[in-house]
């Protein structure tokens, strides 16, 4: 009995504290509807602590997030509600317990990692009523919008104003970072519909993307226009300097690297007033269309509108007034198209060997007016010495001054001489007509200049005296101070034989009788004089015994 009483006392002593713990304190103001002994099982399971499952029967928003494995409460370590939320602490007690303080809370557990400038923000800088999406749902679940941490999503526009006014359908983080709004570091214009190339890369953004007013809200600040910009034609941004003369498609001719650079063969120059032909097709555009010479009102009627007159006006006096087309074509400056027939119409028609001479042989490069190099076509005269050196070094000037080199020479050949030798006072006769000029007119120096003036006109001027002075003219020899023989007294120019010599007339010994049949060499023997064979004509002994082998005594006895 005593033991039973002790058990009752002990049991009662335990029951009294249990009753006291059934209502340890007032519930939070938001849970007042759960007060009373009949409502304990709405949160508590018998013999257990607060059940998270029972909490989620009321907290529908959290249950939905957990079922979708989203948000903080989807993490296993946050499924036990009482770890962070303690009630029965009074009406105004904060239901959220922040272990180590709210500032040390790991926001990554919510599924939204704080990065960049977000790390320096206060919680309520983002968790505000104005940033909550679907406010009506939270209000329906009796959430105070300025106190709850629910209702936000990961989209930038949940908290931030759309500076682009819905111009982009992509995420803000496709272009921007959380470190700073400007510049848009992740934006790459290559991903836009208009790819930047050439000079467009260096153009500042505001050149194409201006600041405009929001027409829907005129009280709003201006925004930068990105969508709705025309870029299918260059004229959307650039003025058409051609006034649509070549159509609207600028890209058919131009490239973005430079406005003045034209695509290789894409531009059809035939559409202009000056179709390109010949070498002009290969000329770079900037050669004609320079920065100081635009594409309009260019002069091109004459070649000299673009090209410098290389001939420095030498042809200006001609009928075409120096037009380049008279000799040249656009196919190439050289060779010239000036024909032989055209040259025959000039003041110097080509004849003979001149027809075979290349133009450059006469028309050579010279320094002309202000020391400018050009080709000479205009000459002071057309005489031979304009191009040819005087081979005779002035010896024949009296003839050259009279009729030019043509007095002797012709253009057929320099060696073809037509000079009348009779005019020299030494008429060519007989074999002299067949003699080569060089036989008499031999070179007088290393330059092979021929001797024409001061030649000795007598035979011994060219021929050796084979008689070794036997017929020397003593008076004339003394006068000219050299041995001289008058060959013409016996010889003629037709041949070397002494046709003019008559023995009975010109010699002291008359030939008659049997002497007429005696060969000359029987009496005129050959001897060597100074190593040369010489026929002896003077003196010759005219006595009979000089030829006949008989003494004078024998001859007298025979005759008696």
Q: What is the pLDDT along the chain (560 residues), one digit of tens a residue?
A: 343 333 333 343 444 444 445 568 899 998 999 998 889 999 998 878 889 999 999 999 999 999 999 999 999 999 899 999 999 999 999 889 998 999 999 999 999 999 999 999 999 999 999 999 999 999 998 899 999 999 999 899 999 999 998 899 889 999 999 999 888 999 999 989 899 999 999 999 999 999 988 777 766 778 999 988 888 888 888 988 888 888 888 888 888 988 767 776 667 888 888 899 999 988 887 788 887 776 777 888 888 888 888 888 888 888 788 889 889 999 988 888 889 999 998 989 999 999 999 998 999 999 877 788 899 998 888 888 888 888 888 888 888 888 888 888 889 888 888 888 888 888 888 999 888 888 888 888 877 788 888 788 888 888 888 898 888 888 878 887 777 888 888 999 888 888 999 999 989 899 999 999 999 988 999 999 888 999 999 888 888 888 887 655 554 554 44
The β-bridge partners of 329 are 332
Determine which helix (DSSP H) or strand (DSSP E) holds 255, and give its type and residue range.
Answer: strand 254-255
Q: What Cα–Cα distance (Å) separates residue 248 from each residue in 91, 193, 232, 275, 492?
A: 76, 20, 10, 21, 101
Output the pLDDT for position 556.
53
User: Hey, what are 53's tokens?
Assistant: 């499952």
Alpha-carbon dihedral sign for residues 94, 96, 102, 107: negative
Output the pLDDT for position 336.
87
Size of the chain, expressed as the number of residues it contains: 560
CA distance 124 to 149: 9
Output the pLDDT for position 264.
63
Contact present, 335 and 399 (Cβ < 8 Å): no
CA distance 357 to 351: 10
The β-bridge partners of 450 are 443
Q: What Cα–Cα distance (Å) separates residue 49 from each residue in 42, 52, 81, 455, 478?
A: 12, 9, 10, 155, 170
Output the pLDDT for position 22.
57
Output the pLDDT for position 557.
52
Q: What Cα–Cα distance (Å) separates residue 526 from each residue in 439, 501, 523, 540?
A: 28, 19, 10, 12
pTM given for the model: 0.47
Contacts of residue 350, defined as CB under 8 A and 6 or more positions apart, other chains included, come to: 340, 343, 344
Output the pLDDT for position 18.
47
Q: Where are the domains of the chain?
A: 21-158, 172-288, 303-379, 502-560
Q: What Cα–Cα distance (Å) separates residue 266 from each residue in 253, 322, 341?
A: 6, 35, 42
Of 456, 440, 452, which Cα lies nearest the Cα of 391? 452
User: Hey, what are 529's tokens?
Assistant: 């004089």
The number of beta carbons lying within 10 Å of the beta carbon of residue 444 is 14
Output the pLDDT for position 9.
36
Determine which helix (DSSP H) or strand (DSSP E) holds 120, and give its type and residue range.
Answer: none
Residue 92: half-sphere exposure toward Cβ, Cα within 13 Å: 0
Determine which helix (DSSP H) or strand (DSSP E) holds 535, and give its type and residue range.
Answer: strand 532-535
Output the pLDDT for position 389.
87
Q: Helix, strand or coil for residue 130?
A: helix
Output the pLDDT for position 15.
40
User: Hey, what are 43's tokens?
Assistant: 């949160």
């Amino acid at each position: 009995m005593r033991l039973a009483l002790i058990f009752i006392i002990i049991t009662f002593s335990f029951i009294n504290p249990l009753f006291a713990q059934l209502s340890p304190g007032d519930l939070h103001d938001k849970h007042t509807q759960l007060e009373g002994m009949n409502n304990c099982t709405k949160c508590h399971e018998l013999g257990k602590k607060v059940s998270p499952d029972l909490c989620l029967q009321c907290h529908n928003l959290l249950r939905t997030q957990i079922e979708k494995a989203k948000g903080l409460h989807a993490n296993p370590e946050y499924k036990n509600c009482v770890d962070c939320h303690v009630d029965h602490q009074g009406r105004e007690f904060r239901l959220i317990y922040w272990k180590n303080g709210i500032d040390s809370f790991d926001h990554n557990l919510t599924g939204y990692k704080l990065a960049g400038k977000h790390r320096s923000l206060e919680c309520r800088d983002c968790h505000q009523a104005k940033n909550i999406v679907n406010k009506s749902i939270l209000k329906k679940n009796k959430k105070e919008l300025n106190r709850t941490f629910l209702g936000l999503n990961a989209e930038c526009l949940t908290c931030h104003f759309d500076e682009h006014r819905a111009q982009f359908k992509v995420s803000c983080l496709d272009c921007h970072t959380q470190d700073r709004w400007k510049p848009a570091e992740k934006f790459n214009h290559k991903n836009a519909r208009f790819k930047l190339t050439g000079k467009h890369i260096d153009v500042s953004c505001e050149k194409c993307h201006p600041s405009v007013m929001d027409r829907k809200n005129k009280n709003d600040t201006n925004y930068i226009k990105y969508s709705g910009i025309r870029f299918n034609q260059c004229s959307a941004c650039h003025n058409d300097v051609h006034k649509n003369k070549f159509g609207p498609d600028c890209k058919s001719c131009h490239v973005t690297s430079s406005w003045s650079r034209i695509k290789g063969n894409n531009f059809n120059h035939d559409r202009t007033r000056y179709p390109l032909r010949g070498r002009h097709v290969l000329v770079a555009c900037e050669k004609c269309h320079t920065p100081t010479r635009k594409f309009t009102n260019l002069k091109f009627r004459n070649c000299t509108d673009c090209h410098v007159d290389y001939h420095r006006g030498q042809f200006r006096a001609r009928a075409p007034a120096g037009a380049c087309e008279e000799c040249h074509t656009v196919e190439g400056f050289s060779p010239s198209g000036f024909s032989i027939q055209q040259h025959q119409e000039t003041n110097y028609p080509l004849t003979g060997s001149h027809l075979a001479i290349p133009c450059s042989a006469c028309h050579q490069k010279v320094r002309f007016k202000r020391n400018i190099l050009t080709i000479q076509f205009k000459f002071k005269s057309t005489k031979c010495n304009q191009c040819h050196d005087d081979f005779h070094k002035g010896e024949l000037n009296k003839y050259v001054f009279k009729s030019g080199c043509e007095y002797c020479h012709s253009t057929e050949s320099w060696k073809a001489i037509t000079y009348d030798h009779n005019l020299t006072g030494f008429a060519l006769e007989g074999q002299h007509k067949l003699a080569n000029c060089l036989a008499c007119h031999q070179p007088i120096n290393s330059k092979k200049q021929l001797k024409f003036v001061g030649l000795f006109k007598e035979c011994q001027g060219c021929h050796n005296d084979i008689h070794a002075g036997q017929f020397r003219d003593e008076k004339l020899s003394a006068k000219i101070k050299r041995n001289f023989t008058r060959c013409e007294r016996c010889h003629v120019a037709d041949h070397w034989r002494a046709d003019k010599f008559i023995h009975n007339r010109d010699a002291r010994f008359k030939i008659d009788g049997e002497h007429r049949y005696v060969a000359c060499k029987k009496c005129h023997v050959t001897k060597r004089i100074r190593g040369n064979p010489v026929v002896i004509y003077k003196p010759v002994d005219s006595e009979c015994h000089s030829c006949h082998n008989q003494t004078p005594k024998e001859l007298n006895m025979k005759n008696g």
